Amino acid sequence: MRYKLLGKSGLRVSELCLGTMTFGSDWGWGADRDESKRQFDYFAEQGGNFIDTANLYTNGTSERLVGEFIHSDREHFVVATKYTLTPAARQGDERIRPNSSGNHRKSMMQSVEASLKRLNTDYIDILYLHAWDYMTPVQEVMRGLDDLVRMGKVLYLAISDTPAYIVAEANTLADLRGWSRFLGIQVPYSLLERDLEREILPMAKHHEMTVLPWGILRSGVLTGKFLKDATEPTRVDPATLNLTHEQIDVVKEVVKIADEVGRSPSQVAINWVRQQQHRAQIIPILGARTLEQLKDNMAVLEWSLTEAQLERLSKVSAIPLGFPHSFLPGNRFVFGSSQTYAAIDNHRGENPIP
């Protein structure tokens, strides 16, 4: 395991992140306590120190298990959790709680206090805003988060599932005011979901943010198991998948390359994402139901896809980037003559244009 600096910070995190949404069987398809512990121990033994959870995951069980597992060596682990969404109401409590969710300060503060108790820790290494609510002002969010950092209850900030223009405004405001900024953004990214290449990834690269992809296997679709009858427990009902012909072609290409290299389709799909470092700094989040699945997924560190294989996968899964991407690159009428572009192309990434 190697380590990377998270975004625009000096925080060292492992090049893979352990996702713990599967820690706990409250939702019907996760891992029980003992299986979760086996996954956690294996990840730590391989040098992993980056753990991702959320107040919502398995109704709070995920945070409680993570807190238990890290307790003996708290300082070693970098624990990320989230606020915004609300765990299921306490049994027998039917009261409406209008401020128990959302991005606002009250939700933020009470959520962090509850997470600290479940994690059994004095501080959270990284706090994510889990999802944008389209109601709370950006200034309220960033000031509240900065207050948590100044109180020492949170060390670093990140954001998840939020439009690029909101993230850009938030980080610009934070930089201007001297507040803590978002170091990373957690979003779904896979061979079957490349929409992020239009706005989110360019924004993250511009603002020196780490991208932490989830859903890399698209709920198991990219393992190829849905090309045949799948019998193991899954979050997705195969009958509701309705995969398009184009999506099936992507899965078939993943399986084909996996057969060629003697690796699993999961590893092929994960490595394609892991090797998109030219788009932004990327640290994949791995989530597994069993230790065997986690071991297989972590074996991506042993090898890499070739340029030819990357090209095959990128080609079969390509999406139209649309405007302005389709308009700006190479538009001679906007930016000047072909000679000017030739000079730029010759010196791009090497020396300044003379």
φ/ψ of 34, rounded to 5, equals -65, -40
Q: How many CB atoms lie within 10 A of CB 330?
A: 11
- Contact status, residue 288 vs residue 294, Cβ threshold 8 Å: yes
φ/ψ of 214, rounded to 5, equals -115, 170
Told to judge if 83 belongs to the known catalytic residues of this protein, a careful annotator would answer no
Q: How many CB atoms lie within 10 A of CB 123?
A: 17
Q: Could you tell me how far CA 241 lies from the centroid of its own chain? A: 22
Identified catalytic residue from 3, 42, 57, 341: 57
- For 50-100, give the DSSP string: EEE--SSGGGGHHHHHHHHHHGGGGGG-EEEEEESS-PPPPTT-----TTS
Enter the tokens of residue 321.
């980037």
Enter the tokens of residue 331.
């538009």
Query: Which residue reads 């139901």 in tokens?
Result: 289
Query: Which residue reads 């070693």 in tokens?
Result: 76
How many CA atoms lie within 13 Å of 202's alpha carbon, on the beta-carbon side?
8
26 vs 19, 21, 23, 103, 219, CA distance in Å?
16, 11, 9, 25, 18
Residue 300, SS3?
A: helix
Burial track 50-69 (b if 16+ CB lie within 10 A, e otherwise): bbbbbbbbbbbbbbbbbbbb
Distance between CA atoms of 328 and 344, rounded to whole angstroms? 14
Active site residues: 57
